[in-house]
Structure 1
Amino acid sequence: MSTELYFFECGTLKTEKQHIMAGQGVKEPFDIPVPFFLIKHPKGNVLYDTGMALEVATDKVKHWEM
Structure 2
Amino acid sequence: MKLEWTEPALSDLECMRDYIKCDSEYYANLFVERIIDAVERLINFPELGRRVPEAEKENIRELLFQLPNYLSR
TM-score by length of 2: 0.30
Greater Rg, structure 1 or structure 2? Answer: 1
Choose between structure 1 and 2: higher strand proportion.
Answer: 1
Q: Which has the higher helix share?
A: 2
TM-score by length of 1: 0.31
